């Protein structure tokens, strides 16, 4: 584990991913800065404000800045060595990944940043060229941001977290729900994609009954997407890539990447049966 401390600015710090990054940065002892958007942008969002104040209580520095005020971004960036952006990219809430192009410009202008981690944290978007519409918007937009970063010659790390457990594990990979199924579980094809191990016996033990396994063919899955609204079509495209095409595991990590468990051997993995106990 590295002991070097860097001044870190988290942009998007009150979000789902961002609050975890702020917590981890503080826990690792990095001087941590969080972009606080100005009052009109926070509006009456009391939870956002409370979260920001709780960061401050834990030792973070709140720095006011806005994507509609370029100078404020440059000034905030000048305070730190590393910028981590966790801008919203989730179709379920909002999708603002392209706002990061302004951040890239500001980092370029500031000229002091040693490393930028853009809002990635999902699939390796460079491998998602064949993803279904409209879900591929997420990947295409993240690729535009990558290109801008590389064109500006900003040192970067792309963190590919693959699939978040709370979105994909707790629900046993079922769409349009976050909770574990209680009666039957839909299998994508044979359910043999190497993406996530689905152990229905474990969950069945927890809910006290055996789940019925229902297999959904690729054709039926694709046909079912047509009737969905936009947000669900985006999500379904991601499911298709993961469970029918196995996009999370069907490649080798080349020299340009590093497998995270090798970089952070101190992080202990949670077994699926342990993870599922929270839903019991």
> Rounded to an integer, what distance in angstroms lies between the CA atom of residue 166 and that of residue 276?
10
Query: Using the rule CB under 6 A, is 279 a contact of ligand NAP?
Result: no
Binding window for ligand NAP (CB under 6 A); candidates: 7-15, 74-82, 224-232, 243-251: 7-15
Q: Is 67 in the site for ligand NAP (CB under 6 A)?
A: yes
**Catalytic residue selected from 142, 226, 268, 277:** 142
Residue 142 designated active-site? yes
Torsion of CA 140, 196, 215, 233, to 10 degrees: -20
Token code pair at residue 40: 């009109």
In angstroms, the CA 201 to CA 59 distance is 44
Positions in 122-151 near ligand NAP (CB under 6 A): 122, 138
Phi and psi at 8, nearest 5°, equal: -115, 130
Helix (H) or strand (E) holding 108: helix 100-110
Site of tokens 């033990």: 205
Running DSSP on this structure, what letter comes out for residue 11?
Answer: E
Which positions from 199 through 228 interact with ligand NAP, judged by CB under 6 A? Answer: none
Of 92-121, which residues contact ligand NAP (CB under 6 A)?
Answer: 93-94, 96, 99, 119-121
Residue 43 touches ligand NAP, criterion: CB under 6 A: no
- The answer to whether residue 237 forms part of the interface with ligand NAP (CB under 6 A) is no
Specify whether the CB–CB gap between 201 and 232 falls below 8 A. Answer: no
Residue 243 as a binder of ligand NAP (CB under 6 A): the answer is no
Q: Rounded to whole angstroms, how far apart are CA atoms 280 and 277?
A: 5
Residue 172 is a binding residue for ligand NAP (CB under 6 A): no
Which residues are marked as active site? 142
Instruction: State the residues that interact with ligand NAP by CB under 6 A.
Output: 12-18, 35, 37, 48, 67, 86-90, 93-94, 96, 99, 119-122, 138, 161, 163-164, 167
């Amino acid at each position: 584990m590295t002991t070097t401390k860097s001044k870190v600015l988290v942009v998007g710090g009150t979000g789902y991913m961002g609050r975890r990054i702020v917590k981890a940065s503080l826990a690792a002892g990095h001087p941590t800065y969080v972009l606080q958007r100005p009052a009109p942008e926070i509006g009456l969002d009391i939870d956002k404000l409370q979260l920001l104040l709780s960061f401050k209580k834990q030792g973070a520095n709140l720095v006011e800045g806005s994507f509609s005020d370029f100078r404020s971004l440059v000034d905030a960036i000048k305070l730190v060595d590393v910028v981590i952006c966790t801008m919203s990219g989730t179709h379920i809430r909002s999708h603002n990944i392209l706002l990061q192009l302004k951040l890239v410009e500001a980092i370029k202008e500031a000229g002091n940043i040693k490393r930028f981690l853009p809002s990635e944290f999902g699939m390796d978007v460079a491998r998602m060229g064949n993803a279904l519409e409209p879900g591929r918007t997420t990947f295409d937009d993240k690729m535009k941001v990558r290109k801008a970063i590389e064109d500006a010659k900003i040192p970067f790390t792309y963190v590919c977290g693959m699939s978040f457990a709370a979105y994909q594990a707790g629900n046993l990979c079922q769409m349009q729900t976050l909770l574990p199924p209680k009666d039957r579980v839909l299998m994508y094809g044979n359910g043999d994609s190497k993406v996530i191990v689905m152990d229905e016996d474990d969950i069945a033990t927890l809910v006290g009954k055996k789940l019925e396994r229902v297999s959904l063919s690729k054709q039926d899955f694709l046909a079912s997407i047509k009737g969905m609204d936009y947000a669900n079509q985006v999500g379904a495209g991601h499911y298709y890539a993961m469970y029918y095409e196995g996009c999370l595991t069907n490649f080798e990590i080349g020299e340009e990447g590093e497998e995270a468990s090798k970089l952070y051997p101190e992080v202990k993995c949670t077994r699926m049966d342990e993870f599922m106990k929270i839903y019991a």
